[in-house]
Structure 1
Amino acid sequence: MYTSSVADPPVVREPLHAPVAHLIRGGMTEGIHYGSVVVLGAGGEVRLQIGDIEAACYPRSALKPVQAVAMVRAGLPLDGELLSLAAASHSGEERHLAGARRILELAGLTEDALRNTPDLPFGPAVREAWLREGRPASRLAQNCSGKHAAMLYVSRLNGWSLDDYLDPRHPLQQAIAEIAEDLSGQRVAQVSVDGCGAPLFAVSLHGLARAAARITTAAPGTPEARVADAMRAHPEMASGAGRDVAALMRAVPGLLTKDGFEGVQVAALPDGRAVAVKIADGADRARVPVTAAALARAGVDPAALTAFAGEPLFGGGRPVGSVRPARALDPLT
């Protein structure tokens, strides 16, 4: 069973990554993606580890479900689509912008209160349309605006200051750090700044998987369960149309999963089985098939994962290879 005891922080070191995927072109290995993978059983035991699962790493946006749990524990009253958006790396679709505006309205605020970095929409098709229309980068379009709007809302509800809500010393960020430690089971190793400007807390890949499992196994009605239920019921609000994480949650009943920049992904099932993946070079072309292979090793039916086996490599306009997970991830080995 998972416990809430908190261990020492993971060691900050150069991770000892190992091969997790191969680029096969014409039957020959053309390239290798290195990384680390951990698969946890329902009781929290490590069923598979590749690479360095105990070194400190930045989860990037894969930590957003944990941040959302911390905000709900602090009184954030959102549920459903808006709570899913609070844990989102969204594509910048109109529903995402409207949802972020609604959260700000509930807080009695406007877009001007946001302190995330202005950006173009994350979704390629949405970004192209945005540029054709001559629209500038904005804080609302940036993929973390739902999270930032929720941070402002919970800060307003608690009477905390708004201008400095991204300061690691702010009560909200202190609360998030505390919950990150509680759910991961280890002290935060280091604090930096994420791309959106929010504090970024380093834990191990093992700790990230534990945190996801703690969220999906929580009792109904708890902050953890509310976040998991919202994201699973509204996966496109936590990502966007056509995004692989939304498709994966649709394909695997009960699965909660979240991706993060630099090749990070975490996923957990309702019984506590969980996986966490870090691709050393940050490549999404390896992240998706490696995550699918890790889920198969966790016991997910491979038939539900065939769409996530990786895109083919082309030569002369025809498929000549693919990105294949390393043999260590083969569920039959």
Structure 2
Amino acid sequence: MGFKPLVEEYRGGVLENVHYGAISVVDEHGRILYKAGDPAHMTFLRSAAKPFQAMPVMKRRIDEAYGLTGQEAALFAASHRGEAYHVASLESLFRKMGLREDDLHCCASYPLNEEAKAERLRAHEPKRRIFHNCSGKHAGLMGLSKHMGWDERTYYDLSHPVQQEILDVAADIAEVPKDAIPLGVDGCGLPIFALPLHKIAYAYLKLACPDLIGDPGNRQAAAAIAKLMNDNPDMIADRKFVCSALLRDDNLSAKGGAKGVYGIGLRKERIGISLKVSDGSEQVWPCIIASILERLGYGNQATIDRLYALVPNEIVNDGGTPVGERRAVFH
């Protein structure tokens, strides 16, 4: 599949585990500057698609139409972890937009974060659709459908105008023919698309540098959602997750997705980065991303330090005793 070793994990000096994958780094012309593994590996974006799925919503300025705060509108691109502040913003968003939680297509669940889930269980609360990490994205698509007079309840269907607009955005941003984009169904029940890894990097570069986008509506929408993400990083994931740690850096646009896919755009450097961990691990994201930034000579050491603080390369046991290490080994 064109994967190479990205991270090795050692315990007691013995190689215990290897995470394989692929990395692509592109310039503003879409040319591949650096690669590890196959940069053409076809990759479902999963939740890394959310900024682009939110662009039709931002093109109509649904946030302004319904008087949403920046925190509320940022949830359109979020994989929120179900913390109390996420839920409060979602409930406010649903009230302002006049939406019904029961109309969400994503299933009822408990929050992703363990302590947030435990709080709901201690309170004997049932699962809710609004707790699902994709509920903000779904709300945006429902709100757009309502605003445009489209059927709000079938927004998840591939033939629905909102889904076709999302595919139009993906084709435009990645510069691929719409009918050549492979499709599947995401974990939350929405259509999801796949792109070659280097095209994901190119799309994230354009998210960071929307002047590279030819279509004026898409350009404005990309700038709007990217700003919301940087202005409200804790809404995109939580206070202790990779996406939020990267988005605290105003030079970066960034979002990860299930099964190990990640996209990053660098504004000043005008380069895009994408990666796919073949076993789907998210735990090794900080090691890989920090190492990529170091190898590119990235100037904001605070961003790199935040990544290593999230998941240190030193491996400890359940009692906190150092027992091994992880190493980025790609070239």
**TM-score scaled to structure 2, two decimals?**
0.88
- Give per-residue Cα distances to partners, 1:196-251, cap 9 Å, x unaligned: 1111111111111111111111149811111111000100011112222212222x
Candidates 53, 56, 61, aligned match of 2:42: 56
Question: Counterpart of 2:100?
Answer: 110
Does residue 208 of structure 1 match 2:200? yes
Amino acid at match of 2:239: A
- Aligned equivalents of 2:36, 2:143: Cα separation in 1: 40
- Uncovered stretches (5+) of structure 2, i.e. residues with no partner: none
- How far did residue 287 of structure 1 move? 1.9
SS at match of 1:295: helix
Candidates 31, 34, 50, aligned match of 2:17: 31
Does residue 158 of structure 1 match 2:148? yes
Question: Counterpart of 1:218?
Answer: 210
Amino acid at match of 2:326: V
Does residue 179 of structure 1 match 2:169? yes
Which structure dedicates a bigger proportion of its chain to helix? 2
- Aligned equivalents of 1:166, 1:43: Cα separation in 2: 33
Identity %: 32
Q: 1:183 to 1:72 in 2, by over 3 A?
A: same
- How far did residue 74 of structure 1 move? 4.5
Amino acid at match of 1:72: M
- Aligned equivalents of 2:94, 2:3: Cα separation in 1: 41
- Aligned equivalents of 1:73, 1:253: Cα separation in 2: 22
- Uncovered stretches (5+) of structure 1, i.e. residues with no partner: 1-14, 329-333
- Aligned equivalents of 2:163, 2:95: Cα separation in 1: 22
Q: Runs of 4 or more off by more than 3 Å in structure 1?
A: 41-44
Q: 1:240 to 1:159 in 2, by over 3 A?
A: same
Amino acid at match of 1:71: V
Does residue 190 of structure 1 match 2:182? yes
- Give per-residue Cα distances to partners, 1:148-183, cap 9 Å, x unaligned: 111100000111101111001100000001101111
- Aligned equivalents of 1:322, 1:301: Cα separation in 2: 25
The count of corresponding residues between Structure 1 and Structure 2 is 313
SS at match of 2:109: coil
- Aligned equivalents of 1:274, 1:240: Cα separation in 2: 24
- Aligned equivalents of 2:121, 2:100: Cα separation in 1: 24
Amino acid at match of 1:239: A
> Structure 2 matches for 1:35-114, cutoff 5 A?
35-78=21-64, 80-114=70-104
Alignment RMSD, CA only?
2.0
- How far did residue 107 of structure 1 move? 2.7
- Aligned equivalents of 2:80, 2:157: Cα separation in 1: 23
SS at match of 1:38: strand
Question: Counterpart of 1:259?
Answer: 256
Q: Contact 1:116–1:144 (CA<8 Å) still a contact in 2?
A: yes
SS at match of 2:284: helix
SS at match of 1:164: coil
Amino acid at match of 1:296: E
Question: Counterpart of 1:308?
Answer: 307
Q: 1:322 to 1:42 in 2, by over 3 A?
A: farther
Amino acid at match of 1:24: Y
- Aligned equivalents of 1:246, 1:217: Cα separation in 2: 19
Question: Counterpart of 2:284?
Answer: 286
- How far did residue 298 of structure 1 move? 3.5
Amino acid at match of 1:47: L
| The 10-residue stretch of structure 1 (73-82 or 229-238) with the greater mean CA deviation from structure 2 | 73-82
Q: Contact 1:37–1:294 (CA<8 Å) still a contact in 2?
A: no
Amino acid at match of 1:231: M
Q: Contact 2:76–2:139 (CA<8 Å) still a contact in 1?
A: yes
- Aligned equivalents of 1:267, 1:224: Cα separation in 2: 14
**TM-score scaled to structure 1, two decimals?**
0.88
SS at match of 2:323: strand
SS at match of 1:61: helix
- Aligned equivalents of 2:140, 2:167: Cα separation in 1: 16
- Aligned equivalents of 1:178, 1:281: Cα separation in 2: 30
Q: Contact 1:111–1:140 (CA<8 Å) still a contact in 2?
A: yes
Q: Contact 2:207–2:253 (CA<8 Å) still a contact in 1?
A: no
Q: Contact 2:21–2:37 (CA<8 Å) still a contact in 1?
A: yes
- Aligned equivalents of 2:293, 2:271: Cα separation in 1: 9
- Aligned equivalents of 2:140, 2:320: Cα separation in 1: 45
- Aligned equivalents of 1:108, 1:184: Cα separation in 2: 34
- Give per-residue Cα distances to partners, 1:230-284, cap 9 Å, x unaligned: 000100011112222212222x342111111111111112132221111010112
